Amino acid sequence: MATGVDAKLLKSTKFPPEFNQKVDMQKVNVQVMKKWIANRVTEILGSEDDVVIELIFNLVEGGRHPDIKSLQIQLTGFLDKDTPIFCKELWKLLLSAQASPQGVPKELLEAKKLELMQEKVGAGTPGCGVRDRS
């Protein structure tokens, strides 16, 4: 579905070496990645944009082996200067996810572990940060 302009951009754009590695979406926990995509796009745009988020979902889930280079070209109009950064982050997470037995990127597992540990520490200190002003 690439137009002539897209084809020219694909040839002229310099992509990171990670983009040469294939991702098998059957090895990826898609629900976990969808949550990350939605959160990251909302963070980049400053508000939730269902159209952009759904577009990314469709491009990623469109086939067993998504084409990240084409995805980056198609997203440029929506994410502007943040597109290459977003695509590189997404691709690294997808590569990590397909290598994981659970299909979840180890980076997201580590972040969740840290978050749970911080919640546990916060819950373990009642009255933390509250001073008695009597």
According to CATH, the topology of domain 18-115 is PWI domain (1.20.1390)
Asked whether 72 and 18 are in contact (CB, 8 A), the reply is no
Comparing 2 with 5, the larger pLDDT belongs to 5
Give pLDDT, residue 33: 96
127 phi/psi in degrees, rounded to 5: 75, 15
Per-residue pLDDT tens for 77-119?
999 999 999 999 999 999 999 999 999 999 988 888 888 888 8
Give pLDDT, residue 118: 87
> Residue range 58-64: average pLDDT?
93
Cβ-based burial of 12 (10 A; exposed 0-12, middle 13-18, buried ≥19): exposed
Output Rg (C-alpha) for the chain, integer angstroms: 19
Q: Which residues of 99-128 are buried (b: 16+ CB within 10 A; e: fewer)?
A: ebeebbbeebeeeeeeeeeeeeeeeeeeee
Per-residue pLDDT tens for 5-59?
677 878 888 899 999 999 999 999 999 999 999 999 999 999 999 999 999 999 9
Q: Where are the domains of the chain?
A: 18-115
